[in-house]
Structure 1
Amino acid sequence: MRNAVADALTAVYGKHWPWDRNFENSLPISKGLGYQQRQDLINTRTRFRTTDRIVVELKFVFWEKMFTSRHDQRIWNAHLFSLFPNLDPTQTVSAHRLRLATDLEAIRLLRNRIAHHEPIFKRNLSEEFSKVHDLVEARCQVSAAWMLGEQMALAAIQAKPF
């Protein structure tokens, strides 16, 4: 996902998009304790000097938040179908972007639960796996097929004792 978003940002703002003021100003200014996307970009680009390194270092939530409707006009209306060529062309950009955002949020929350050693036993992990697969497949069918061939998650999910 981050590479797809980075490709879209490069197409719109150029290869130095992390330093582009128009891009920076397109990000929300958050108040309070929640995630602050604009500040995350500023902090990350202060610590790292190349776009590639910034792409790697930005938080998962940064990439998730790029799928909000505020970016439809500038980014997704023109680039969603070229960056995710396996999306159903009969559905709207807005519908696909909303689904991508929703699935990315669910995946991020699952990832955070796992990272914090919180229980995931009662979750529908097969459904969560399908979301990951569908996101990969939207970008690249070859990668999705490789993922299915290499993964061991489904066997572990089906073997769970409860």
Structure 2
Amino acid sequence: MPISAADAQAVEKVLSKERLGTYARTLTMLNTRQALTLYAWNAEISGAFMLPQQACEVAVRNAVSDVLSAVYGLQWPWSLGFERSLPDPQSGFSMRKELCTARGKARAGNTNTVIPELKFAFWVRLFTQRFDNRLWLPHLKASFPGMPAGLTVQQCRQMIYYELDGVRSIRNRIAHHEPIFARNLAADYTRML
């Protein structure tokens, strides 16, 4: 639908000249209407990515929760052994603090209410080498049966980490309403699948 110059200026005022400037500079566009068209297309593509991203995230969370249940019991979020296995750096993202925060927001004793409270970064970081012996060597192949044949468990775990970190990257850009139009969207979509 064509947009009038006056409407374009009004939208630019609401969104900010700086935000639209990202779109205008990318394709060396000369007017706000063209930048708004790209902005709208970016928003539509971002929306289209929500379903595959959601399915990916929920599938991973559930598969990992099943592994954590097998290792630490159905009440794994309250397992002291699991909590102590999580890194807790002085600065930056702390998996241990994230778990404690998520437990505080959930109903006591109900694992299913903790799972969605944990940030996606938490789930991604469970695929680091530190969790190989306890989680992934005994459980990865059964939990992620579609992995390529001929790869070691460590190679599969590393591949999952890499792919999920890519999903996390586009997920965060979408969540913060940032441009994704310059990304390799076909690769991002394949990664989610």
- For the aligned pair, the TM-score class normalised by the smaller chain equals 0.7 to 0.9
The answer on 1:46 being equivalent to 2:108 is no
Superposition map of 1:82-101 within 5 A: 82-101=142-161
Q: What is the Cα deviation at residue 121 of structure 1?
A: 1.3
1:159 — aligned with what? none
TM-score scaled by length of structure 2: 0.67
Question: Does 2:164 correspond to 1:104?
Answer: yes
- How far 1:85 sits from its partner (Å)? 1.1
Return the match for 1:10 from 50, 62, 69.
69
Identity of aligned residues (%): 44
Q: Amino acid of the residue matched to residue 93 of structure 2?
A: Y
Q: 1:35: Cα distance to partner?
A: 1.4
Question: Distance between the aligned counterparts of 1:29 and 1:96, measured in 2?
Answer: 25
Cross-structure match for 1:139: none
Structure 2 unaligned runs (5+)? 1-59
d(CA) in 1 for partners of 2:130, 2:184: 31
**Max Rg structure:** 2
Please tell me the residue identity of whatever aligns with 2:137. Answer: N
CA distance in 2, matches of 1:47, 1:125: 34
Give the CA RMSD over aligned residues.
Answer: 0.9
Aligned counterpart, 2:30? none
Residue identity in the other structure for 2:76 = W
Identify the match of residue 136 of structure 2 among 68, 76, 80. 76
Specify the SS of the correspondent of 1:29: coil
* Residue identity matched to 1:4: A
Distance in structure 1 (CA, Å) of the matches to 2:184 and 2:112: 35
Tell me which residue corresponds to 2:118. Answer: 58
Q: What is the CA–CA distance in structure 2 between the aligned matches of 1:62 and 1:25, rounded to whole Å? A: 15
How many angstroms apart in 1 are the aligned matches of 2:129 and 2:79? 20
TM-score normalised per structure 1: 0.79
Q: Displacement of 1:46 after TM fit?
A: 2.0
Local SS of the residue matching 1:123: coil
How far, CA to CA, are the matches of 1:67 and 1:14 in structure 2?
19
Question: Paired residue for 2:8?
Answer: none
Q: Secondary structure at the match of 1:86?
A: coil
